[in-house]
């Protein structure tokens, strides 16, 4: 995963001059490398996430009407959002891009993120022109959710916050230091100046100052190390330093995807994103550690069981082979070297039969008797008969080929080795 954010989002995204902060991670949890570079020099990655800075987004809490929609990204829902936001935004709603919170549906009260559509498209085109197409769009700051709300997972909230509290982040965007604050009421972004103290009630417009002070002990104050000192002077409180790479990773871990409506990806691309995110979470997420150990133990047990079964089968086969060799050497002590016990035993038995005057299965009389039995009540008469090395050769048939092939099938069903090439039938004793 490669997560990028413009150094100055409001500047024109010229491919030659635009700088991007970026961090690359193989598991979505820990950075492999990070830095700043031009668009064309960004590392290549299958999944590139564009993270939007807090001042690029406005957040609105809306109760969506119940619409009969086949999918969330339908044009009717977009038109409904334009109507609901018309009195809440200062700019033309037609020039804004909207995105619903993860899992947002018609008929619910949801958070809606808004941003300038033309500027966002410019950044998407610039990245695509540089050979780095965007797979997902995520915010760098988003509204918090109650601690016990459904879906309030670490991937959504991060930094182990306890509601009701606020998350404050001092950072640099462009040539200005900013303080972004997120709470249950939304997200705000105000400029930071070291010579001007920032009152607490300026962090979230519309919030009650007394309520903010009551939850101040639960707040989390974080800052880019480059502006930590400036933020401490402005707020008169300590800030914990957080490297920009860690904050970018937090955006990549979130459930947010602002690529909706006319900017939405195809269903196949979204499905691929979900599979990749699920695999990364399973591979590296601490909540899946027990499942990973269990799966590893299951695979190890299966491999051990397969190896044990194979060993037992090999041992059983060796025991049977030893028993056959023992039977051969016991019955025929003159056999000193055992190479193919069944074939050697058949030859020894044939020798005994010949010595005692008994017919063996490979003798001419036995082969002719087998042909007679297989022919049944309709005997077949060949005109030429040959016998050599235990093989009976019959040719010059007076009957049709179909009847000879029926004879061949009957002999094979009886265990004899019979081959017919359309002219000559070759018959041999059964295999040992």
Q: What is the pLDDT of residues 336-371, one digit of tens each?
A: 788 888 878 877 777 776 676 666 777 778 888 888
Flag whether the pTM goes above 0.75.
no
The domain locations on the chain are: 2-148+163-284, 287-341, 359-428
Q: Which residues contact 76 (CB under 8 A, 6 or more apart)?
A: 67, 69
425, 368 in Cβ contact below 8 A? Answer: no
* Local structure of 393: helix, strand or coil: strand
17: buried, middle or exposed (CB in 10 Å: 19+, 13-18, 0-12)? Answer: exposed
Q: Which residues contact 350 (CB under 8 A, 6 or more apart)?
A: 360, 362
pLDDT of residue 36: 93
254: buried, middle or exposed (CB in 10 Å: 19+, 13-18, 0-12)? Answer: buried
207, 183 in Cβ contact below 8 A? Answer: yes
The residue that leads in pLDDT, 199 or 296, is 296
CA–CA gap between residue 35 and residue 41 (Å, rounded): 11
So what CATH class is 2-148+163-284?
alpha beta
CA–CA gap between residue 286 and residue 229 (Å, rounded): 34
Q: Which residues contact 8 (CB under 8 A, 6 or more apart)?
A: 18, 19, 173, 174, 175
pLDDT of residue 164: 57
Average pLDDT of the segment spanning 402-415: 85
345, 332 in Cβ contact below 8 A? Answer: yes
Average pLDDT of the segment spanning 283-305: 83
The residue that leads in pLDDT, 180 or 89, is 180
pLDDT of residue 339: 80
Mean pLDDT (the chain) is: 81
Q: pLDDT of 373-402, one tens digit each? A: 888 776 677 888 888 877 888 888 877 888
CA–CA gap between residue 214 and residue 234 (Å, rounded): 20
Q: Which two tokens stand for residue 281?
A: 């979470």
Which CATH number is associated with domain 359-428?
3.30.1360
pLDDT band at 107 (very low <50, low <70, confident <90, very high): confident
Q: In what order do the strands lie in the sheet with 19-24?
A: 33-38, 19-24, 2-6, 48-52, 136-139
């Amino acid at each position: 995963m490669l997560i990028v954010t413009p150094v100055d989002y409001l500047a024109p995204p010229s491919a030659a001059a635009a700088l991007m902060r970026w961090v690359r991670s193989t598991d979505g949890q820990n950075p492999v490398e990070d830095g700043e570079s031009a668009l064309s020099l960004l590392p290549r990655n299958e999944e590139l996430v564009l993270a939007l800075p807090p001042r690029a987004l406005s957040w609105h809490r809306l109760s969506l009407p119940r619409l009969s929609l086949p999918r969330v990204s339908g044009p009717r829902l977009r038109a409904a959002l334009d109507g609901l936001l018309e009195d809440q935004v200062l700019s033309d709603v037609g020039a804004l891009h909207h995105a619903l919170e993860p899992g947002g549906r018609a008929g619910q009260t949801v958070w809606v993120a808004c941003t300038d559509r033309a500027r966002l498209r410019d950044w998407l085109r610039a990245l695509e022109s540089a050979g780095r197409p965007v797979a997902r769009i995520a915010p760098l700051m988003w509204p918090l959710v109650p601690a016990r709300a459904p879906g309030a997972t670490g991937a959504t909230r991060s930094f182990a916050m306890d509601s009701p509290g606020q998350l404050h982040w001092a950072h640099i965007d462009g040539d200005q230091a900013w303080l972004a604050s997120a709470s249950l009421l939304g997200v705000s972004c105000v400029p930071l100046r070291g010579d001007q103290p920032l009152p607490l009630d300026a962090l979230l417009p519309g919030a009650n100052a007394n309520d903010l002070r009551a939850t101040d002990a639960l707040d989390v104050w974080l800052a880019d190390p480059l502006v930590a000192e400036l933020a401490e002077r402005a707020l008169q409180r300590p800030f914990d330093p957080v490297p920009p790479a860690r904050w970018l990773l937090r955006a990549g871990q979130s459930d947010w995807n602002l690529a909706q409506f006319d900017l939405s990806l195809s269903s196949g691309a979204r499905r691929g994103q979900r599979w990749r995110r699920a695999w990364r979470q399973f591979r590296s997420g601490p909540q899946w550690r027990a499942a990973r150990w269990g799966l590893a133990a299951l695979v190890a047990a299966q491999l051990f069981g397969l190896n044990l079964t194979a060993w037992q089968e090999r041992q059983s086969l060796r025991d049977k082979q030893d028993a056959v060799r023992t039977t051969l050497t016991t019955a025929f002590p003159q056999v000193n070297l055992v190479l193919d016990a069944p074939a050697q035993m058949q030859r020894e038995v044939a020798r005994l039969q010949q010595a005692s005057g008994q017919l063996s299965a490979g003798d001419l009389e036995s082969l002719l008797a087998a042909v007679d039995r297989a022919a049944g009540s309709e005997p077949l008469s060949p005109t030429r008969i040959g016998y050599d090395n235990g093989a009976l050769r019959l040719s010059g048939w007076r009957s049709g080929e179909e009847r000879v092939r029926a004879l061949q099938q009957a002999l094979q069903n009886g265990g004899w080795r019979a081959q017919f090439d359309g002219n000559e039938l070759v018959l041999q004793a059964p295999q040992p």
